[in-house]
Amino acid sequence: MLSTPSYVERFRNNLSKELPRVPILDSFREISKLGRELAGLQLAYQRYVWAVVMKEEKEELPEYSNLTITADENALKEYVERVRLDKESREIIINGKVIVKDIPEFALECKVGNYPPIRWISEYLVREEDRDTGIVWDPMLRVEEFIDIVKKLIAFSERCLEIKEQLREVYEGSTPVKTG
């Protein structure tokens, strides 16, 4: 219920101030099934990104294949140092050498919480040193691993939006169940 776009839009002000109230609807089972699928999808992709960063064995997940990648073989083997996400041109520039183009608009619109996953990895999965403490965060990802994550997250975004659209249709067609 809480991931249904119409519910979030309708109760946006209340959701930021108080605990959500979930109405009991005649389509509860269908909404529950879609919600379970969405949660499973989000957990699978979270585990996948974790497995890549931790260099663990990772399960196979669908990936988006319509990207244009401009790079030489050596650049793909380098570690990710800098990433710039350009939303206007829908491309990611990695280390100033590798360009991932043709990122679909839906991948930049899909949000988990309040953040698109593509934006999150572009900001978080890069080497960063805290100026005050000198502590270094370095996931030690190679460019090819980062691109693999991007492809997977675009496929994830597409499927999430499909499920959310199904949720919208079911929610808008539902009527509250009379209780008591």
Closest C-alpha to 48, from 35, 34, 27, 62: 62
What pLDDT is stored for residue 104 in this prediction? 95
What pLDDT is stored for residue 1 in this prediction? 65
What pLDDT is stored for residue 177 in this prediction? 61
What pLDDT is stored for residue 179 in this prediction? 54
Task: Give the domain ranges of the chain.
Answer: 5-172
Q: Residue written as tokens 């990648």?
A: 69
* Phi, psi (rounded to 5 degrees) for 164: -65, -35
Percent of the chain with pLDDT over 70: 93
> Which segments in the chain show pLDDT lower than 70?
1-3, 22-25, 176-180
What pLDDT is stored for residue 87 in this prediction? 92
Structure tokens at 44: 């699978």
Q: Residue written as tokens 């990207």?
A: 67
pTM score: 0.79
